[in-house]
Chains A and B, each alone.
Chain A
Amino acid sequence: MTRRQLLLALGALVVVILVLENTGPFRNGQFAAMAYYAIAAGGLTVLTGLNGQLSLGHGALMAVGAYTAALMLQERDAALPLVLILLIATGVTLVVGALVGVAAARLHGPYLAGATLALAVAVPGIPLYFSETLGGEQGLRVRVPEIPTWLADAVYFVTGQDLTPTRYLAYLGWLGVIIVFVLLANLSRSRIGRIWQAVRDDEVAAELAGINLGRARVLAFVVSAGCAGLAGGLLALSARIAAPSGFTLTLSLLLLSAVVLGGLGSLVGALVGAALLTFLPQVVTGVGEDLGLTDVQAAQLAPLIYGLVTVLVVLLAPAGLAGGLRKLTQWRRST
């Protein structure tokens, strides 16, 4: 790990503390949501941007993480510490990701999209089939465990504010974002990241250079699935439920659109995309209401604007918002 990344991570932590301590519980909740979208989008952007594999099944992988966490959080006094539960959710999804990845490694482009699409369609059906253990359509209710006393006291000592449950989840989420992003950034700069890019850019050349294509693809998929699992666990905590209707194909497509909007392959882009996913609907609906639209019209405005933004970004900044911004600064510097 380079010193620069460590510093960036520390700086990010300070920013996170400042932001979360100075916003109300509602914004805290939104930041918690942004965190899980960011983690999932970060994993996806590495898979798609760096390794060139298109996955339409990340929503389903999030479901695996969410249900794993939910199963362990049925009682308020969970047997395991929350961090361990999230790690287990990540681990289980990693294993599922490895299985899918092995199949996926043999496929390309549209075929891979098709296979992962099948995953996205099939996985929400599993809880319906095993409705005794997985709660069927109504899903599994998640009880957020009590905040550990030592942590609550420590936070109060430092900040002078009581640690609310939403803020606790937001901290947990953003800690996850920082750790995951540092790991992903390191990974993509390392030999492995270069191998992934080599596979993406030219398979034949990569193979000639002695790269095992299948292994590289499976590894990328596994890493990406792990991110989705952690994100799913955090989502279950924030939403307080894991239900099939929360993990439809729409979620997978939203994640993909967030990655495209932010900029493929860019972690900053993933963050931007996650912010759009979280804040845009609420802001647009608010504006719609202020303009005097009815509730139904205001609610329909959000997907419309989201679609328009996507079209505009693809037309005007094909490299995504993060890429477009980078280009803009480069252009200004050069003139």
Chain B
Amino acid sequence: MKRWSKAAALVLAAAVTAACGAGGRPDDAKPGSTVGITDTTIKIGAHFPLTGVAAPGYSEIPSGHKAYYDYVNAHGGVNGRKIEFVVRDDAYNPTTTSQVTNELVLNDEIFAMVGGLGTPTHGAVVDFLNDAKVPDLFVSSGSLQWGDYPKDKPFTFGWQPDYEIEGKIIGDWVKKNKPDAKIGLFLQDDDFGRDGEKGARRYLDDQIVAVAKYSPGNTDVAPQMAQLQAAGVDMVLGFNVPSYTALSQLVSLRLGFKPTWFYSNVGSDPTLVGALLARFSEGAVTDGASLLDGVMTTEYIPGVDAPDDPWLKLWQKVWSEHGADGDLTNYRVYGMSQAYTFVQALQAAGPNPTREGIVAAVEKAGKTFEGPGNAPFRFTGESHLGISGMAVVEIQNGVGEAKTPVLVTDIGDAPIKEDDSAAKDSPPANGIPNVKAVE
């Protein structure tokens, strides 16, 4: 019996090897990949944290994307193609990001990744996307690595202003307006904090008296706040996410630490921070948004605090016609603004888009895209970094009041200039961009 089964196994193994014999390697080269595109549809996708600790806020971004694509589809799509947007949950865990990106690229066969969120998470898949030559458009993170060296990652593009130029613009403003302040930095210990610090130090190196870093996940920031307080800091620049804005506010209340706060755009959404404050303080802070009165931050797209802005009117219309449950939020506005840029890129890629073609089109025409961004994009063959500037604002009653015109710059020692031109762009009447195809 045993001998028989052994023989059977050997025969089976031999049969397997023989059955699949091959001839020569076929050789086919195509001019460009059209995976994910049919005559009537185009399928794109992205990874977002829909569950887990990073889900509050961020999980709303894809709903903004979807609403805007549905709006465009209801108006005939782009060149007759309807946009399908597939969202996969990575719970902000890079291992899962890898798995769901495999699923998006290999199983769902998306044409392009649009808006994949997070620095550690997207970092896990950026090489894979570039190796597979999948356009990796408009990453939802301001890390420099998506665009400062396009030769390494030719298919990847940033979208929001990178953290270094945000650091520069904040640093420049503080230098000019608070030249005597003792500055403390409150940094997330990754690219976000590092790039931001690099930018801020360009102007504030001699004013910075203390640097405190936190690791995401560790919710005790009392040591960091005590360190800044002990150093006599009277202005804190925070490059941190919203939950750490709330934590730092609560802890400094407890310590009696009352500096001027300047949070980067990422961490300053008053609605979300207000809700987090109420939750973290277990109800002790009821009017969280007012706690943020007088807090400084930056703004690069109009948000829900400016309901009369023509872009907001468009987003409100899109959301009420095609949105899911819930109100329009800044995260949904962010998603719609990104979606708007993708529609522009797709139009620029022409009636027969290919993966290579859309990358070339963004490099060629991206600088001229007029959209909700307050400053123009920097897309060229040499840079895949996104929006080039922002305005400094002060929050009062949950509303951002501009303290400067839009300030535009680039990484490195590029000067900071005032440039309101892109902020005056208003949406076309039908709410759908009209970008000419790149030759």
The reply to whether the CB of B89 lies closer than 8 angstroms to some CB of chain A is yes
Tell me whether B120 and A137 are in contact (CB under 8 A). Answer: yes
From 9 to 52 in chain A, residues with beta carbon under 8 angstroms from any chain B beta carbon are 10-11, 13-14, 17-18, 21, 24-26, 29-30, 33
Say yes or no for B16: interface residue by CB 8 A criterion. Answer: yes
Question: Which residues of A sit under 8 angstroms from B9, Cβ to Cβ?
Answer: 7, 10-11, 14
Chain A residues whose CB sits within 8 angstroms of the CB of B2 once the complex forms: 3-4, 7
A138 with B119, Cβ < 8 A, contacts A14-B12, A159-B20 known: yes
Please tell me if B74 contacts chain A, counting CB pairs below 8 Å.
no
CB contacts (< 8 Å) of B128 on chain A: these are: 240
Q: What residues of chain A lie closer than 8 Å to B189, measured between beta carbons? A: 128, 131, 136-137
CB distance from A175 to the nearest CB of B (A): 15
Q: Are B94 and A241 in contact (CB under 8 A)?
A: yes
Q: Is the CB of B124 within 8 A of A239?
A: yes
User: What is the bound-complex CA distance between A26 and B109, given in angstroms?
Assistant: 10
Q: Which residues of chain A come closer than 8 Å to B148, judged between CB atoms?
A: none
Q: Check A7–B6 contact: CB distance below 8 A.
A: yes
The tally of residues in B whose CB lies under 8 Å from a CB in A reads 50
**Contact present for B99 and A139 (CB under 8 Å):** no
Residues of A within 8 A of B119 (CB): 138
Contact (Cβ within 8 A) B125 A21: no
- Asked whether A241 lies within 8 Å of B215 as measured between CB atoms, the reply is no
Asked if A292 CB lies within 8 Å of chain B CBs, one says no
**A145 beta carbon closer than 8 Å to chain B:** no
- Taken together as a complex, chains A and B put the C-alpha atoms of A299 and B107 apart, in Å, by 17
Q: Which residues 155-179 of A have a CB within 8 angstroms of B?
A: 156-162, 166
The answer to whether the Cβ of A200 comes within 8 Å of any Cβ in the partner chain is: no
B123 touches A166 (CB 8 A): no
Q: Do A166 and B120 touch across chains, with their CB atoms under 8 A apart?
A: no
Contact with B along A211-253 (1 / 0, CB 8 A): 0000000000000000000000001001111011110100000
Min C-beta distance of A121 to chain B, whole Å: 10
| A residues near B124, Cβ cutoff 8 Å | 139, 141, 239-241, 243
Which residues of chain B have C-beta atoms less than 8 A from A208's C-beta? Answer: none
Residues in B with CB closer than 8 Å to A248 are 93, 217
Docked-complex contact B50 and A295, CB < 8 angstroms: yes
Given contacts A128-B189, A157-B22, contact A239 B94 (CB under 8 A): yes
- B102 interface hit (Cβ, 8 Å): yes
B205 within 8 A of A: no
The reply on B98 being an interface residue by CB < 8 A is yes
Q: Is B123 within 8 A of A139, CB to CB?
A: yes
Partner of B22, one of A24, A33, A159: A159
Cα–Cα, bound, A217→B246 (Å): 46
- B324 contacts A300, CB within 8 Å? no
The bracket for how many chain A residues form the interface is 35 or more
**Interface bits B66-96 vs A (CB < 8 Å: 1, else 0):** 1000000000000000000001110011110
Contact of B123 among A17, A138, A285, A295 (CB under 8 A): A138
Q: In the bound complex, how far is the Cα of B120 from the Cα of A141, in angstroms? A: 9
**Choice from B21, B95, B218 contacting A246 with Cβ under 8 Å:** B95
- Which residue from B55, B95, B106 sits with its C-beta under 8 Å from A26? B106
* Chain B positions within 8 Å of A26 at CB level: 102-103, 106-107
Q: Once the chains bind, are B190 and A137 in contact (CB under 8 Å)?
A: yes
Residue A190 CB within 8 A of the other chain: no
CB nearest to B216 among chain A residues: A137
Are B190 and A245 in contact, CB atoms less than 8 angstroms apart?
Answer: no
| In the bound complex, CA of A139 to CA of B94 (Å) | 9
Q: Do A243 and B120 contact each other (CB < 8 Å), given the known contacts A26-B107, A162-B25?
A: yes
Among A11, A158, A235, point to the contact of B20 (Cβ < 8 A).
A158
A138 close to B190 (CB less than 8 A): yes
- Chain A nearest CB from B34 CB (Å) reads 18
> In chain A, what residue has the closest Cβ to B54?
A245
A139 and B120 contact, CB distance less than 8 A: yes
- Measured between C-beta atoms, what is the minimum distance from B371 to chain A in Å? 24
**B127 within 8 Å of A by Cβ?**
yes
CB-based contact A137/B13 at 8 Å: no
Complex Cα distance, B100 from A78, in Å, reads: 27
Output the least CB separation between A246 and chain B (Å).
Answer: 4
Q: How far is the CA of A125 from the CA of B119 in the complex (A)?
A: 18
A133 within 8 A of B: no
Q: Tell yes or no: A307 within 8 A of B by CB.
A: no
Closest to B100 in A: A282
With a CB–CB cut-off of 8 A, which chain B residues contact A124?
A: 217
| Partner among B55, B98, B107, B218 whose Cβ is within 8 Å of the Cβ of A239 | B98
Among B108-143, those with CB < 8 Å from A are 119-120, 123-125, 127-128
C-alpha spacing A8/B216, complex, angstroms: 46
Q: When A14-B9, A138-B120, A240-B125 are in contact, do A24 and B20 touch as well, CB less than 8 Å?
A: no
CB of B168, distance to nearest CB on chain A (Å): 22
Is A246 a contact partner of B93 (Cβ separation < 8 A)? yes
Q: Report the bound CA distance from A136 to B13 in whole Å.
A: 47
Contacts of A4 in B (CB 8 A): 2
Interface assignment of A110: CB less than 8 Å from any CB of chain B: no
Residues of B within 8 A of A139 (CB): 94, 120, 123-124
Set of chain B residues within 8 Å of A141, measured between Cβ atoms:
123-124, 127
Q: Does B305 contact A (CB under 8 A)?
A: no
B352, CB-defined interface residue at 8 Å: no
Q: Is the CB of B94 within 8 A of A295?
A: no
A282 lies within 8 A of B103 (CB): yes
What distance in Å separates the Cβ of B191 from its nearest Cβ neighbour in chain A? 6
Q: Are B20 and A21 in contact (CB under 8 A)?
A: yes
Taking Cβ atoms with an 8 Å cutoff, the residues of A that contact B are 3-4, 7, 10-11, 13-14, 17-18, 21, 24-26, 29-30, 33, 124-125, 128, 131, 136-139, 141, 143, 156-162, 166, 235, 238-241, 243-246, 248, 282, 285, 294-296, 299-300, 302-303
Could you pull out 26 A-B pairs where Cβ atoms are within 8 angstroms?
A3-B6, A7-B9, A10-B9, A13-B13, A124-B217, A125-B218, A128-B215, A131-B189, A137-B190, A137-B215, A138-B190, A160-B21, A166-B102, A240-B125, A241-B98, A241-B124, A243-B95, A243-B120, A244-B217, A245-B217, A246-B95, A248-B217, A285-B88, A285-B89, A300-B50, A302-B89
Q: Which 10 A-B pairs have the closest CB atoms?
A: A160-B22, A299-B89, A26-B106, A241-B124, A299-B50, A26-B107, A246-B95, A239-B98, A29-B102, A295-B87
Besides the known contacts A14-B12, A26-B107, A296-B50, 16 further A-B residue pairs in the complex with CB atoms under 8 A apart: A14-B13, A18-B16, A26-B102, A33-B99, A139-B94, A161-B22, A235-B95, A240-B124, A241-B94, A241-B120, A243-B94, A245-B92, A248-B93, A282-B103, A296-B51, A296-B63
Instruction: Write the residues of chain B forming the contact surface with A, with a CB cutoff of 8 angstroms.
Output: 2, 5-6, 9-10, 12-13, 16-17, 20-23, 25, 50-51, 55, 59, 62-63, 66, 87-89, 92-95, 98-99, 102-103, 106-107, 119-120, 123-125, 127-128, 188-191, 215-218, 324
